[in-house]
Structure 1
Amino acid sequence: MRLRVSSMVFGGAVSMATLVLLYQVLSLPPDTRPPGEQKEIVSLESRLRRLESDLQANQLTITEIKNLVRQLAGSNSRANSLLGPQYGVLVASKFVRNGINAIKAAEKPNSPLKKVIPPVHYNLTHAAIMQDDCIFAQAAPAQADIQMEKVYNFLKFDNPDGGVWKQGWDIQYEAAQWSSAKKLKVFVVPHSHNDPGWLKTFDQYFTDQTRHILDHMVEKLSVDPRRKFIWAEISFFSMWWDQQSESIRDTVRRLVDRGQLEIVTGGWVMNDEANTHYFAMLEQMVEGHEWLKLNLGVKPNNGWAIDPFGMTATMPYLLKRMGLENMLIQRVHYSVKKQLAKEKSLEFKSQLILDQYRKKSQLYRTNVVLVPLGDDFRYVRPEEWDSQFINYQKIFDYLNSHEEMHVEAQFGTLADYFRAVHEESDGPGGEEQEIFPSLTGDFFTYADRDDHYWSGYYTSRPFHKSLDRALEGYLRGAEILFSVMLGTQSMTGKPLIELADSLMARLVLARRNLALFQHHDGITGTAREHVVVDYANRLMSSVNDCQHIIQQAANYLLAIDQHSYKSDPGAVYFELGEKYTEHNQIASKLILALQSGSAIPIFIYNPDAHHRFELFTIRTSSPYVEIVGKKDKIIPCQVDPVFIQSSEASPTMFDVTFQVDALSLSLTKYTIKAVEPDSVNSELVSYAKVIVRGMAIPSVPSVFTVTEENSKDPFTLHNEQIQATFTSNGLLQSITTQGHTVLVSLEFVKYGVKNHHETAGAYLFLPDKEAVPVPMGQPPVVLMQGSIMSTLSTQLKDILHTVKIKNSPGVDGMGIDITNLVDIRLERNFEFVMRFNTGINNEDVFYTDLNGFQISKRMRYSKLPLQANYYPIPSQAFIQDKEHRLSLLSAQPLGGSSLKNGQLEVMMDRRLMQDDNRGLGQGLQDNVLTSCVFRLLLEPRISTKESTTGSSREDLMAFPSLLAHAGLHSLLYPMYALLPTAKVGATQHRWDIGGELPCDVHMVNLRTMLDPPRATIGRTSHLTQHPPGSITSLTLHRLGFDCGFKSPGLVCSTNGGKVRLTELFPSMFNEQVHQMSLSMLYEGVDMTKSYTLSLQPMELYTFRLSRS
């Protein structure tokens, strides 16, 4: 949907036909062990899991006994005996480790930095990893004919002038190469690319253009059976379908059956491939395919991706696992496309008037040519249909009637084209021949001409990118809890139809709003301002809907008597801990209102299929509290002030932090008790000490002590696992973990824009020069120091930078949490970056993820401009050498790079005052206050054979550690607090699913599938459009991970990818299970719930579960 120099005659620039050679369903690898041995192993695995749980419980008991002994031995403070004086959050001294100086605050007799608050002590756990589970990441990657890294190494990127089309070149052919026995086959493919939001909103586009296109399509295709058309966007098609009579619907079905109309890809939208997470990519595809199955009975076979700005390797994988066989892509760097064309490699596995057709045929390996005939929102008027179809048919009739031309030209669909390609490429017996090269890698970063690299949209409108990830987390959490609620209802024999229908309607709307935003002008941040507002309102509304579903399902699952449960679909029994009220504002935290003597139970929802130990923060109205956990035991907590401005903390808001022990997929009760000020248990309740630098002492409630520190010396924060040194300005300087200290210096820098007639905008990143540091001065610094967590905040120009060091036994205690509140509304042509300068020798190699699914190696090329070395960072990036890896986990998609040895940077926001001439017609001037959330991990490499990667430059592939996987999941799928309202009744203390997955297996989703519309109960004239069906789709992902790093903070184990659904869901879903394609269109292996699944690393699997 950008401005294109294209014509309706030749269908635009050269397209790349992607012969993916996909299969429909991959069967699970069979377990070849004898049945008796399988049962023994399953029994042993079950006993081992119980033993691990018992050992963990025993460790906690032993710790409690030790603590009690210390207390009885006469310690002055039970808190000190529990915490141990050796664990300081702030330490005063200087030290040298591993040859790297890490400066700490110098001791001063009266320095507040010398006053140590000992942190809560815990026993650290590690994941138990089977040795065989390390083999996959150690193995050499599969070889391909074309490796994109080698293509980039080979190309000069010298951009020679090719004439009228600068990136073109002269193409010659011999007319004698065609004959009556070997004709040139030309398929002209009419299409209309319909953006579900760009210059207009989704609804405006439908009303003004799309509905007319589809209306005329039915009429004009029916005139002549030789006419063909393809359609991709199911979001529009479904809206149009709802307005059609049954007669029109039958006509459409006949057009599909006759092959005149082909549904290509079949997703809700044509999704972006840079910023999207594979969860949302999969969801939008499933939404489209489910609609097609229910309404048209169509199974798409060919992919069509002509407009996303760069291509990921994740998309062909997903399509392959959904049963699609071929794919066509379009937007590839002009130099790469030219190189592939010269080598006739535009057709590849993962893959791309007569005089022009013949020239185009020279770019491919068969005599079959595809010519797209269409563009954005074409065929709106009936005259356009007539002029294209009538005139082209005359051309075809003329060409085909002259045998001496040796050509067969016709209208076609993608199915027609790929069928002809397969027929020509197959051997004489019909067997497949390997005439097309295979290709590995991706097609980032895209450039359409000169130095115009489309790397700006990786960051454009980060507020909405963050809101996307928030909705993904809530939607996944709602999907799982809703499906489990229905599964539980089927066991009780009392289905609550009205409740299920009501919640399902909200769920479907949330699915579709998330899917809509995956469009390549949605999550990319490249739509007009009023369209962005429309997207944001949809996302915010769907977050609220998902919160409603979660609390409704939770109330049912926690009910003491589910047999007599009375549902109220609109009731709010719980409020979740944060609320979205405005489309352009960060979510606000809800305040738990406490009165003296009150005890309010809250529930923590863990949406992860793994046991979690993490810190959790609740905002209360009083600082005088106690936290009651399991077995009615009071547990340690920390109370922090809440600053409403730099000089004042709120007298009525307080953040209470405590450790949560949450089983897999569970709701766990904790009680917040309000106590009198003189009744606070000082041994278990600690109040943060506030230390300020570079500012006057702020006003805070009297329960907190505040000290002013005027020293300009560096200082250090640490827990039991990591130690971080900061400059006097509050910026990170170095990290120490596991006895290794590495320079990790944080700075904020900015890029300007090139002063040229074409410059940076929503799509393009065109910096004027290398980044320059943002002026610092002496910023105000606030440190809140405590036994459970220490928080450091630095107020700089355009940003409030906050760092948290958590004293937690879970994965959140193994890294440094960073939150940047960014506000650049007063800047002009300003691109804001957080950069880490480290002592890691990464040799110009860095790694970024592709859609949260896999890791891609990146090289910094000096022959390319700075902006060409920027890549999408959907969820993580890292640099490494033979000793260390530094990973930046990101809760939102952004762009980033490593532009010098030891550097890692991420762009957080952009404000551009002009358009970049790619069709939008606006700059980026609607910036809002935006929260960018990260977790920084420094991981020393284990010097053992488990290490899978070492010297970065030689590595072709890399994998995150198990700790990085778990840390990222805790950011993307956090635990949620459910705060009770007056409507909630008596509840159980806890609910959990009953099972758990291995460390390296992730539950992507547990999704209730739809039934066809049916009559609403009690209202025969009304249809329930989206009734929940009896089928549930379970999607699992076995992660690939690097065994070269420890896995602290995890309380799980790996077992070779073995999963038994009867252990995961011991008390729900029927015994019969089917493996399915990812979008549930194709059925595979039939099995029982007790069958031991063998999941392969880096693979996604979907299973069909059913309820009675």
Structure 2
Amino acid sequence: MIFGLFSNMAVRSQRLAVALLFIFSGVLSFPLGQETKPTPNMLNVHLVPHTHDDVGWLKTVDQYFYGDRNDIQHAGVQYILDSVVDQLLKNPDRRFIYVETAFFYRWWKQQSSSMQQTVKKLVNEGRLEFVNGGWCMSDEATTHYSAVIDQMTMGLRFLNETFGPCGRPRVAWHIDPFGHAREHASMFAQMGYDGFFFGRLDYQDRARRRRDKEQELLWRASDSLTPPMADLFTGILPNGYNPPEGFCWDQSCDDPPIRDDPDLEDYNVDDVVRRFLAIANSQAIVYKTDHIIMTMGSDFQYENANLWYKNLDKLIHYVNALQANGSKVNVLYSTPSCYLQELHRANLTWALKMDDFFPYADDAHDFWTGYFTSRPALKRYERISNSNLQVTCNQLEVLSGPASRKGPFGEGDKKAMAVAQHHDAVSGTEKQHVANDYARRLAHGWQRCQVLVSNSLAALSGSSAERMYCDNLNISVCPLTESTLSVSVFQVVPVSAATREVRRNRGFAVNELVFQVQAPPLGFTTYSVSLLQDGPPPASTQHRTPTAIQNKNLCVHLPQFLRVTFDPDTGLLSSLSNLETKQTIKLTQNFYWLVYNASDGNNLQSDQPSGAYIFRPNSSTPFLISKTAKTESIQTSGVQEVRQWFAPWVSQVVRLYTDSKALELEWTVGPVPIDDDLGKEVITRLDTSIKTSQYFYTDSNGREMLQRKTDFRPTWNLRQSEPIAGNYYPINSRAFIKDDVDQLTVVTDRSQGGGSIHNGSLEIMLHRRLLYDDVRGVGEPLNETSNIFPKGLVVRGRLLLSLDRPPSAADAHRPLAQEVVLQPLLTFTDGDLHPNTQLEFSGLQAALPPAVHLLTLTQWDKDSVLLRLEHQFQSWESKLNSQPVTVNLQKLFSTLEVLGVSELNLSANQWKDEMTRFHWTPMTGTGHLNLFIRFYYISS
């Protein structure tokens, strides 16, 4: 039996040669027709024809593209693109923007060469403009920055290679995500975008910004990158992403067309023009320049583009005709980049923003903070899939060369991961059958990736033995080890009753084998396990609550690490100590369900229920699931466990591995009971002696940390109407609370929602099962079941807790969070090792400095590789690791000789030294330290 443990993978000898890629950058100028020119000294109204095409939501990606299942929603993206191209050709003044490359790529591949040339001409003339340009419009709360960068790179690469410089988007366009992350803005800035437009904004924030004319602003999206590196002009669209009221002319709309025959009784041109001018003037009052933007389109519109364009042509004509009588309003077909260019030419100063746009609420009791946790199993599967793609498929393809690409491996796993970043995918806000489709795509992509992994490891190790992949190890299921090892002989760690209940009949292992392993950076290690006549001593099992458990460094001269105490009467945690730093905090932890009780809408203040999007508790007091926990403790030389049972549907393992500086809490929740006709939102809460003074910290898309304060917003005076839901924030990989002495950090294994409702506490929502739809469009309650769990979904996950001194805590929790996001892969093979098998390998000559993380190593084309290195510490986090770092690329890889390096922007679609962006002047602002983050492209 051979166990292969893989971290950031390995390589065989290759040489990299120089290749040249020509990527044009700079401001593009397009010829403008008569109806597309702004006019000085007038109010210029920029009409932007667009469609918002979700890459899955109520229907699957395939159903949306083909127009299938119109009984669910009438939508067919292929017909939209067909119709728009046809209508653009009929009038050179017309414009259209398109966003989702996943759909456009599919449509493009089906077109004839003559049609492709026609579309290229439209793009070159600026009549068809791509905005955003990623594979999808990603969610901003529940996505990890590494996956977002990948999906943006995939979409932008296709546009760049297909259309050249005219196809490169200049504007980021996130009109539908439900709140906006600072790290997304930082990434967009580093990808070379000139500006960013979105539609959804907290209702109180919007009211304040309308009053102060700050709906267009400069977002300083990093406290570590030197301005303007992460500065991004940001515009808030006036109508979300819909047309003004009364001006929707799609086949899905009910507004009357423009009837311009004066001989007809129902002639309405005068009324249409009057209403339009009133809307334009009222909008101009709350924006700063003599240019305003109007989005003319909405969800899956323009399937019959003639309806839209015929009426827009008339609207432009009749409004502009009034200029002869002194009107100062000029209407034109436009695009976001044309609009942005006019704002830049205005040469004004703009309000500065340095926090983010979370949480988002569209009314006093309607906070969109439930989706931070919705569909927790899908959220975990997406995170595992990202790890598999990054740590194995991408890196192994580079390091093992052409030998890895024998077989069916292709782009399927990358496209599946890219689609999963969509704002109705990993967010958990889709219909159940669509969530199933996302999971199916991820599974299919991983199956194809396994072929590449097996080929690569065979080439690198010299062993051609068949490799097996056990995807259910978290519930102790691996058919190969169960059938070939009589692990009952070992009696190492018995499988818990909770695990046996979760796995049902999918596995029958009695014990788990636990031993410490180490894998070299960018490499692999192979372990062989054999049966011995006299195995290790059996695990010590006690059916009483231990007073304490603690672990130690295996080096005998170094101090012990962690000590955890338990209340013998309740079985609950009572304290946590870091024995290295001589810290101890009081720490109690328990599980609750909410009144926060998954509101059914019967509330005196509001009838809004909780649902896939909305978190709407009825009360600020949660229901305690149990005051006590039944316990069982397991002790071996490698691990100590205290297994806790709080209810038939809630259990946990408190686990300390030897030589680990983090306490692991492995929770299992479900099926959430609904016999009382109440849906439930389940949280775990950590109550500590740390004096937080209402402050706590959460990450932004897994990268920089942001300070939060209960019942507070940095840019407006908050009127708090939901003291629980209004204080929940997305936790993508970690959160912490601290005072001057102690910092408790919690690392999560998926995106979850949480907050610090009480001083000294940190709570995280783990699972949601709801019985009502929240009336935000999905049209069904968030009530997940499956064939295995017909009575309700069971979810298992991990929280890792670390206790440190605040000045140095980041030195521990940042690498820990990266390890959880990009976890090693275990593969298994049955049989003896070949004598010439290479048991261990590292693709690096030495480990990278602690401050540097290898973010991307992936094959770009046949002869070139894309490499991204990042400085992973913020400027204020660490006295040691926040300093600039230099990496010698020539000496980085053990078997790769780097002959040429060219630096690109973050999305790898422009040379870095040719990337030009608009400069914007803030009203106020201060400089920040440079973190010296650089992203490299290796040419070969």
* TM-score between the two structures when normalised by the length of structure 1: 0.68
Residues matched between the structures, number: 787
Equivalences for residues 861-880 of structure 1 within 5 A: 861=711, 863-864=719-720, 865=722, 866-880=724-738
1:397–1:644 Cα change, 3 Å: same
1:452–1:482 Cα change, 3 Å: same
Alignment pair present for 1:416 and 2:367 = no
| Number of the residue aligned with 1:973 | 822
Q: State the SS of the aligned residue for 1:356.
A: helix
Q: Deviations over 1:414-454 (max 9, x none)?
A: 121112222232xxxxxxxx522221110001111222110
User: What is the CA-CA distance between 1:370 and the residue it aligns to?
Assistant: 0.6
Out of 423, 426, 429, the position equivalent to 1:520 is 423
Task: Measure, in 1, the Cα distance between the counterparts of 2:884 and 2:59.
Answer: 50
Letter in 1 for 2:658: N
1:180–1:522 Cα change, 3 Å: closer
Task: Measure, in 1, the Cα distance between the counterparts of 2:930 and 2:889.
Answer: 18
Q: Deviations over 1:923-976 (max 9, x none)?
A: 1111521112110111134xxxxx38xxxxxxxxxxx61110111122112222
Equivalences for residues 524-923 of structure 1 within 5 A: 524-559=427-462, 573-579=466-472, 588-592=477-481, 620-624=485-489, 639-643=492-496, 652-676=509-533, 679-680=534-535, 685-692=536-543, 709=544, 714-719=547-552, 720-728=560-568, 729-737=570-578, 738-751=581-594, 752=597, 753=599, 754-756=601-603, 757-776=607-626, 779-797=629-647, 798-808=649-659, 813-827=660-674, 828-861=678-711, 863-864=719-720, 865=722, 866-923=724-781
User: What is the CA-CA distance between 1:1101 and the residue it aligns to?
Assistant: 3.0
User: What is the CA-CA distance between 1:779 and the residue it aligns to?
Assistant: 4.3
Task: Measure, in 2, the Cα distance between the counterparts of 1:553 and 1:377.
Answer: 43
Task: Measure, in 1, the Cα distance between the counterparts of 2:154 and 2:899.
Answer: 26
Alignment pair present for 1:348 and 2:179 = no
Q: Deviations over 1:253-273 (max 9, x none)?
A: 111111111100101111100
1:220–1:1041 Cα change, 3 Å: closer
Equivalences for residues 22-33 of structure 1 within 5 A: none
Letter in 2 for 1:186: V
1:355–1:402 Cα change, 3 Å: farther
Task: Measure, in 1, the Cα distance between the counterparts of 2:687 and 2:293.
Answer: 49
Q: State the SS of the aligned residue for 2:614.
A: coil
Alignment pair present for 1:1040 and 2:933 = no
1:924–1:689 Cα change, 3 Å: same
| Number of the residue aligned with 1:478 | 392
| Number of the residue aligned with 1:364 | 287
Q: State the SS of the aligned residue for 2:372.
A: coil
| Number of the residue aligned with 2:59 | 200
User: What is the CA-CA distance between 1:1054 and the residue it aligns to?
Assistant: 8.6
What stretches of structure 1 of length at least 5 have no aligned partner? 1-22, 26-178, 426-433, 490-494, 561-570, 596-619, 626-637, 693-708, 942-946, 949-959, 1011-1028, 1048-1052, 1087-1094
Contact 1:469–1:972 at 8 Å: present in 2 too?
A: yes
Out of 404, 407, 415, the position equivalent to 2:326 is 404
1:1007–1:206 Cα change, 3 Å: same
Task: Measure, in 1, the Cα distance between the counterparts of 2:704 and 2:365.
Answer: 28
| Number of the residue aligned with 1:155 | none
Contact 1:483–1:1032 at 8 Å: present in 2 too?
A: no
User: What is the CA-CA distance between 1:653 and the residue it aligns to?
Assistant: 3.7
Q: State the SS of the aligned residue for 1:889.
A: strand
Contact 1:1034–1:1102 at 8 Å: present in 2 too?
A: yes
Q: Deviations over 1:990-1010 (max 9, x none)?
A: 221132211011111112124
User: What is the CA-CA distance between 1:549 and the residue it aligns to?
Assistant: 2.5
Give the % identical residues: 27
1:348–1:929 Cα change, 3 Å: same
Task: Measure, in 2, the Cα distance between the counterparts of 1:481 and 1:288.
Answer: 20
Alignment pair present for 1:216 and 2:83 = yes
User: What is the CA-CA distance between 1:778 and the residue it aligns to?
Assistant: 5.5
Contact 1:278–1:852 at 8 Å: present in 2 too?
A: yes
More off after superposition, 842-851 vs 757-766:
757-766
User: What is the CA-CA distance between 1:1045 and the residue it aligns to?
Assistant: 7.7
User: What is the CA-CA distance between 1:360 and the residue it aligns to?
Assistant: 1.1
Task: Measure, in 1, the Cα distance between the counterparts of 2:408 and 2:833.
Answer: 18
Q: RMSD of the alignment, in Å?
A: 2.8
User: What is the CA-CA distance between 1:850 and the residue it aligns to?
Assistant: 0.6
Contact 2:409–2:448 at 8 Å: present in 1 too?
A: no
Task: Measure, in 2, the Cα distance between the counterparts of 1:310 and 1:974.
Answer: 29
User: What is the CA-CA distance between 1:372 and the residue it aligns to?
Assistant: 0.6
| Number of the residue aligned with 1:1059 | 887
1:557–1:396 Cα change, 3 Å: farther
| Number of the residue aligned with 1:185 | 44
Contact 1:714–1:727 at 8 Å: present in 2 too?
A: yes
Contact 1:479–1:1008 at 8 Å: present in 2 too?
A: no
1:392–1:1100 Cα change, 3 Å: farther
| Number of the residue aligned with 1:278 | 145
Letter in 2 for 1:643: S
Alignment pair present for 1:310 and 2:233 = no
Out of 803, 811, 821, the position equivalent to 1:938 is 803
Task: Measure, in 2, the Cα distance between the counterparts of 1:644 and 1:572.
Answer: 34
Task: Measure, in 2, the Cα distance between the counterparts of 1:546 and 1:749.
Answer: 40
Task: Measure, in 2, the Cα distance between the counterparts of 1:747 and 1:295.
Answer: 55
Q: Deviations over 1:1010-1040 (max 9, x none)?
A: 4xxxxxxxxxxxxxxxxxx322111111012
1:836–1:252 Cα change, 3 Å: same
- The answer to which structure, 1 or 2, has the higher relative contact order (CA under 8 A, 6+ apart) is 2
Letter in 1 for 2:871: R
Q: Deviations over 1:667-699 (max 9, x none)?
A: 1122212111xx33xxxx34310112xxxxxxx
Contact 1:24–1:324 at 8 Å: present in 2 too?
A: no
| Number of the residue aligned with 1:1015 | none
More off after superposition, 762-771 vs 989-998:
989-998
Alignment pair present for 1:334 and 2:187 = no
Query: Which of the pair has more CA radius of gyration?
Result: 1
User: What is the CA-CA distance between 1:774 and the residue it aligns to?
Assistant: 2.7
1:537–1:1096 Cα change, 3 Å: farther
Letter in 2 for 1:592: T
Letter in 1 for 2:283: K
Task: Measure, in 1, the Cα distance between the counterparts of 2:450 and 2:631.
Answer: 35
Q: Deviations over 1:557-608 (max 9, x none)?
A: 1128xxxxxxxxxx9831234359xxxx97844542586xxxxxxxxxxxxx
Contact 1:573–1:984 at 8 Å: present in 2 too?
A: no
Task: Measure, in 1, the Cα distance between the counterparts of 2:58 and 2:877.
Answer: 48
1:456–1:1043 Cα change, 3 Å: closer
Task: Measure, in 2, the Cα distance between the counterparts of 1:545 and 1:295.
Answer: 26
Q: State the SS of the aligned residue for 1:991.
A: strand
Letter in 2 for 1:367: D
Contact 1:396–1:410 at 8 Å: present in 2 too?
A: no
Q: State the SS of the aligned residue for 1:999.
A: coil
Task: Measure, in 2, the Cα distance between the counterparts of 1:480 and 1:1101.
Answer: 20
1:990–1:460 Cα change, 3 Å: same
Equivalences for residues 490-501 of structure 1 within 5 A: 495-496=402-403, 499-500=404-405
Out of 954, 977, 989, the position equivalent to 2:839 is 989
Q: State the SS of the aligned residue for 2:185.
A: helix
Contact 1:962–1:1041 at 8 Å: present in 2 too?
A: no
Query: Which structure shows the bigger proportion of residues in strand conformation?
Result: 1
User: What is the CA-CA distance between 1:389 and the residue it aligns to?
Assistant: 3.3
What stretches of structure 2 of length at least 5 have no aligned partner? 1-23, 27-37, 68-75, 220-233, 236-275, 553-559, 713-718, 786-792, 915-927
Contact 2:664–2:799 at 8 Å: present in 1 too?
A: yes
Task: Measure, in 2, the Cα distance between the counterparts of 1:884 and 1:337.
Answer: 37
Out of 453, 466, 485, the position equivalent to 2:367 is 453
